[in-house]
Amino acid sequence: MKTSDFYYDLPPALIAQTPIADRSASRLLVYNRAARGIYDGAFTDIVNYLRPGDVLVRNTTRVIPARLHGIREDTGGMMEFLLLKRLDETHWECLVKPGKRAKEGLTFRMTDELSATIGLPTEAGGRVIELHYEGIFEEVLDRAGEVPLPPYITERLDDKERYQTVYARENGSAAAPTAGLHFTPALLAALQERGVIIVDILLHVGLGTFRPVSAETVEEHHMHAEYYEVTPEAAAAINAARAAGGKVVCVGTTSCRTLESVADDAGLVHPKSGWTDIFITPGYRFKAVDHLITNFHLPESTLLMLVSALCSREEMLAVYQHAVDEKYRFFSFGDAMLIL
């Protein structure tokens, strides 16, 4: 398949620049694959589509202030760092900009508490850096770093918690699992009152999720590995729900990729932790995931390829054209879609 097969035209005005005041007040496009029907509604309608005994699987990762700006003390030159993967207490894999000036051995200072020395290049085109700091790292990073909003968002985010889900707990992501941004405590409580089982898993969002596809063909693209955890309790709850006839509804592509990484061919989910580089494209046979809640994704992205795998490329592009025609809001702070 060609990467260009997943292109669609999107008017820039439809790219959501800021989150709406009420998280759950976004719109919801429902696509029923069996009926090939498209239904427009509100995100709170999600309660009507999930049944008692269904399991809602959500990713509890928390975005860290992973974007850092450093100054080279001898020349005053600037360098931007995006932390992607923690290798040990002081070493991180990251992206650097401008990359041509990132010479091994150079040190850049972010604050009086934090500096970074550039090390070896990585296979993904980034760098390994060594961070030097005093005190508790998480506190130092919180003071020095910024929430790394995607480049298509140009507006300032006044409340950085709006780029976190209300259930975010485990620090480690360079980007938010944005399908979860629509949920509020009240909406989650309503789902539980209906009898929906909520299960937490973890995937720290890194380069694998948001790295652009630069290859001409889909088959040439290699996903960057991301860390995940599925506990024995989570696996048991998911398996029990499916055995009882419930459906597995994943909140976002990260939850979907995690479950598909730990499920066997019979659809049983196994407790496991590690690194996944699973790349889901049309033709893939889903093992554990029945339905998906997701946002609208960038043209030619791995995320658009994943959602297309749930039906077909042609169907999904037709759904996206409907969303464009109906002026849905796109990308991280945009509206949502439920694929049944």
Q: Give 118-157 pLDDT, tens digit per residue.
A: 999 988 789 999 999 989 999 999 999 999 898 899 998 9
| Fold of the domain built from segment(s) 3-63+159-339 | QueA-like (3.40.1780)
Q: Determine the pLDDT at residue 143.
A: 94
- Phi/psi at 233 (nearest 5 deg)? -65, -40
The span from the CA of 323 to the CA of 297, in Å, is: 11
Tokens matching residue 10: 């999107």
Instruction: Look at the block and give the residue holding tokens 């909406």.
Output: 187
Q: What whole-number percentage of the chain has pLDDT above 90?
A: 89
Q: Contact 204/172 with Cβ under 8 angstroms?
A: yes
Q: Calculate the average pLDDT of the chain.
A: 95
Highest mean pLDDT among 89-93, 135-139, 326-330: 326-330
The span from the CA of 198 to the CA of 293, in Å, is: 14
The span from the CA of 246 to the CA of 28, in Å, is: 22
When pLDDT is averaged across residues 204-226 and rounded to a whole number, the result is 85
Is residue 1 predicted with pLDDT exceeding 90? yes
Is residue 210 predicted with pLDDT exceeding 80? no
Is residue 285 predicted with pLDDT exceeding 80? yes
The DSSP-derived string for 97-147 is ESGGG--TT-EEESSSSEEEEEEEE-TTS-EEEEEEESS-HHHHHHHH-B-
Is residue 69 predicted with pLDDT exceeding 90? yes
Spell out a b/e string for 55-75, using b for 16 or more CB atoms within 10 Å of the CB, else e.
bbbbbbbbbbbbbbebeeeee
Instruction: Name the nearest CA neighbour of 88 among 129, 58, 47, 124.
Output: 129
> Who contacts 21 (Cβ-Cβ below 8 Å, separation ≥6)?
none
Is residue 206 predicted with pLDDT exceeding 80? yes
Q: Determine the pLDDT at residue 36.
A: 96
Tell me the CATH architecture of domain 67-144.
Beta Barrel (2.40)
Phi-psi region of 259 (alpha: psi -120 to 50; beta: other; left: phi over 0): alpha
Q: Determine the pLDDT at residue 73.
A: 82
Q: Contact 116/81 with Cβ under 8 angstroms?
A: yes
Is residue 229 predicted with pLDDT exceeding 80? yes
When pLDDT is averaged across residues 230-252 and rounded to a whole number, the result is 98
Q: Determine the pLDDT at residue 156.
A: 87
Is residue 253 predicted with pLDDT exceeding 80? yes
Amino acid at 58: R
Express each pLDDT in 7-63 by its tens digit.
999 999 999 999 999 999 999 999 999 999 999 999 999 999 999 999 999 999 999
Is residue 190 predicted with pLDDT exceeding 80? yes
> Who contacts 220 (Cβ-Cβ below 8 Å, separation ≥6)?
none
Instruction: Name the nearest CA neighbour of 293 among 241, 261, 253, 324.
Output: 253
DSSP state for residue 283 in the 8-state scheme: T
Domain(s) of CATH 3.40.1780.10: residues in the chain: 3-63+159-339
DSSP state for residue 265 in the 8-state scheme: T
- Phi/psi at 222 (nearest 5 deg)? -115, 125
The span from the CA of 310 to the CA of 289, in Å, is: 10
Q: Determine the pLDDT at residue 208.
A: 64
Distances from the Cα of 329 to the Cαs of 52, 243, 279, 306, in angstroms?
30, 37, 26, 20
